[in-house]
C-alpha cells in the first residue's frame, strides 16, 4: 500500500470546513486510528483511494450495494433518467412502480411512503405509530440503531457506540423519557416494560437481524415472541430493515424469519445505494399519513426519479442465484476469518447471516449489546490496520457489519482470508 499522502492532505483541509473533517462520524477512522482514506472511484467489489491504492471493499456503502459498486446497467439507467430531470417535486410513475415491487416482495407493506433516508423512515414510522395508538412511548433495544432522530439516540449502536456517545447530548430529557430500553434477544426485558408501562407504549422498534452493534442474529423465538407480546398489548411492531431488507432475502428478514410486523422501515438498499428510504405497512395504519390522513410528513426529494430508477433497476435483479452466491461466499468468508483467528490463537466470534458478518474479538458469544461491548476494540483496530495494508477494506469499527455483493468473487474472498491470516498474527503479537 502506498502512503496515503493525498488522503492526509485532504483530511487536513476538510477539518477546516466539516466537523471532524467528515459528514458522518464512523468514516473518520477514530475507532481504528489513523486518518480516513479519501475515495476517488469504485467499481464492482473494489474501491480506489486518491493515492491510487485499491481495496476489496466490505463496507459497500454500509450495505446497500448488493450488486456491487456502480454496475454498468445501473449507471446507464441513472444517466438516462437524469437527462429527463433530476427532481420534479411532483408525482412520477416510477414511485408507484417501485412501491408495487416493494409490496410484491414484502407483502406486509400494504402501503409505502418513500423518503430520503433510513433516519427519516424510522422517525416517520414512529410518528404514525404514536398517532395510531394514541400513545407516546416507544421501546428500542440497546445497541440497535435506527438513524439519528432524537428519540433513537438512547443507547444507540453504530457510530454512536463507536464514538462512545451511545446516548447523545442534545436529546431533551422529555424525549429520552419516551424511549424505553430493552435487551436484544431478551423477551422478558420487553415483557417487563409492557407490564410497567401499560397502555402507554405505541411501538416496539427492532432490527430483526441486528447489524449496528455488529451482526447479531435474533435468537430462536425472539421475534415471534415480540410479535405475540406486542399484539397482546395493543403495541405496534416496527421492523427496521434498513440493513436486512432485500439483503437477508428478497422479502427481507421478515420473510425468512416468518414474522409479520405492522410497519417496516427501509433505507438506501431500495434505491440501489442512492439516498432513499421508505416506511410502510398495514393500510389501516398508513392511511393516517398526510395527505390521506392527518400525520404530517413530507419531502421534496422523496420519490425523486433518480433514486426510483436505481431502486427499480436493483430490485428487478434480486434472483435466487444472487442470494445463493452471496450466502455461499458469506459462509466462506466467515469460516476463513474464524480459521485465521484459530491459527493465530486469537479469541474470535464470527456472527454471520448470509452476506453480512462481524468478527468480534472476544471469546464469548455475542447475542446482545452487552456482549458486543465486551469485544476487544483495540484488537479490532490492529486487525483493521493489517487488512487495509494488505488491500482489504473492512468497516472502520468493531460495531458494524461487513457486506458482500454480487461483485465479490471466490478469489476476492480467498485473498481476504490470506490477508486475515497475516493480520491475525499481528493482533496476537501486539497482545503478547
Ligand atoms: N452509521 C452508518 C453505518 N451503520 C455509517 C454511515 C457512514 O459513515 O456513511
Is the Cβ atom of 27 under 6 angstroms away from ligand 1? yes
| Strands (DSSP E) found in 262-355 | 263-266, 277-281, 349-353
- pLDDT in the model for residue 156: 79
Residue 87 makes CB contacts below 8 A (sequence gap 6+) with 300, 301, 304, 305, 306
Rounded distance from Cα 330 to ligand 1 centre (Å): 21
Nearest alpha carbon to residue 171 among 190, 193, 155? 155
The answer, yes or no, to whether any atom of ligand 1 lies below 6 A from the CB of 26, is: yes
C-alpha cell at position 209: 437481524
CA distances from 165 to 25, 40, 153, 299 (A): 11, 30, 9, 29
Mean pLDDT of the region 369-398: 97
Segments of 23-127 assigned E as strands: 39-43, 46-49, 54-57, 111-115
* Residue to mutate (ligand 1; options 58, 62, 244; most atoms within 8 A of CB): 62
Q: How many CB atoms lie within 10 A of CB 27?
A: 19
Q: Across residues 406-414, what is the average pLDDT?
A: 98
Side-chain-side CA neighbours of residue 98 (13 Å): 33
CA 65 – CA 262 distance, rounded (Å): 27
Q: What domains does the chain contain, in order, with CATH numbers?
A: 5-66+319-431 (3.90.1150.10), 72-315 (3.40.640.10)
**pLDDT of 171:** 87
CA-to-CA separations, 380 to 101, 120, 162, 375, in angstroms, rounded = 39, 31, 12, 8
Positions annotated as catalytic residues are 145, 240, 268
272 C-alpha vs ligand 1 centroid, how far in Å? Answer: 16
Q: Which of 23, 24, 39, 209 to mutate to test the pocket of ligand 1 (most atoms within 8 A of CB)?
A: 24
Residue range 253-303, pLDDT digits in tens: 999 999 999 999 999 998 888 999 999 999 999 999 999 999 999 999 999
pLDDT digits (tens, 9 = 90+) for 74-107: 999 999 999 999 999 999 999 999 999 999 999 9
pTM: 0.96
Distance CA(56)–CA(394), nearest Å, equals 9
Amino acid at each position: 500500500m502506498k502512503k496515503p499522502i493525498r488522503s492526509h492532505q485532504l483530511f487536513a483541509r476538510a477539518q477546516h470546513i466539516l466537523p471532524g473533517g467528515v459528514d458522518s462520524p464512523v468514516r473518520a477512522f477514530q475507532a481504528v486510528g489513523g486518518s480516513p482514506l479519501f475515495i476517488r472511484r469504485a467499481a464492482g467489489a473494489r474501491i480506489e483511494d486518491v493515492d491510487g491504492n485499491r481495496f476489496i471493499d466490505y463496507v459497500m456503502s454500509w450495505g446497500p450495494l448488493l450488486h456491487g459498486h456502480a454496475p454498468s446497467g445501473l449507471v446507464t439507467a441513472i444517466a438516462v433518467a437524469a437527462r429527463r430531470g433530476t427532481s420534479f417535486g411532483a408525482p412520477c410513475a416510477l414511485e408507484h412502480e417501485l412501491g408495487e415491487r416493494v409490496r410484491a416482495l414484502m407483502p406486509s407493506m400494504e402501503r409505502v411512503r418513500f423518503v430520503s433516508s433510513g433516519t427519516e423512515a424510522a422517525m416517520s414510522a414512529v410518528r404514525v405509530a404514536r398517532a395510531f395508538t394514541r400513545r407516546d412511548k416507544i421501546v428500542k433495544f440497546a445497541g440497535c440503531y435506527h438513524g439519528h432522530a432524537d428519540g433513537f439516540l438512547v443507547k444507540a449502536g453504530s457510530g454512536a457506540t463507536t464514538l462512545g456517545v451511545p446516548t447523545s447530548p442534545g436529546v431533551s430529557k422529555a424525549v429520552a423519557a419516551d424511549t424505553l430500553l430493552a435487551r436484544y434477544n431478551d423477551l422478558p426485558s420487553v415483557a417487563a416494560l409492557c407490564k410497567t408501562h401499560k397502555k402507554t407504549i405505541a411501538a416496539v422498534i427492532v432490527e430483526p437481524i441486528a447489524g449496528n452493534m455488529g451482526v447479531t442474529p435474533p435468537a430462536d423465538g425472539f421475534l415471534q415472541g415480540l410479535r405475540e407480546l406486542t399484539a397482546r398489548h395493543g403495541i405496534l411492531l416496527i421492523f427496521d430493515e434498513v440493513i436486512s431488507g432485500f439483503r437477508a432475502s428478497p422479502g427481507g428478514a421478515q420473510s425468512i424469519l416468518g414474522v409479520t410486523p405492522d410497519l417496516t422501515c427501509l433505507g438506501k438498499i431500495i434505491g440501489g445505494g442512492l439516498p432513499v428510504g421508505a416506511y410502510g405497512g398495514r393500510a389501516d395504519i398508513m392511511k393516517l399519513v398526510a395527505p390521506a390522513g392527518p400525520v404530517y410528513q413530507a419531502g421534496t426529494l422523496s420519490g425523486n426519479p433518480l433514486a426510483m430508477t436505481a431502486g427499480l433497476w436493483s430490485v428487478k435483479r434480486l434472483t435466487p442465484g444472487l442470494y445463493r452466491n452471496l450466502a455461499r461466499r458469506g459462509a466462506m468468508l466467515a469460516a476463513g476469518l474464524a480459521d485465521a483467528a484459530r491459527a493465530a490463537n486469537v479469541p474470535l466470534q464470527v456472527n454471520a447471516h448470509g452476506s453480512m458478518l462481524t468478527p468480534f474479538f472476544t471469546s464469548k458469544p455475542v447475542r446482545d449489546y452487552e456482549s458486543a461491548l465486551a469485544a476487544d476494540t483495540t484488537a479490532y483496530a490492529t486487525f483493521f490496520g493489517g487488512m487495509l495494508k494488505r488491500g482489504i477494506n473492512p468497516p472502520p469499527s468493531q460495531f458494524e457489519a461487513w457486506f458482500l455483493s454480487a461483485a465479490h468473487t471466490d478469489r476476492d474472498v480467498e485473498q481476504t482470508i490470506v490477508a486475515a491470516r497475516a493480520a491475525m498474527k499481528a493482533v496476537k503479537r501486539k497482545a503478547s
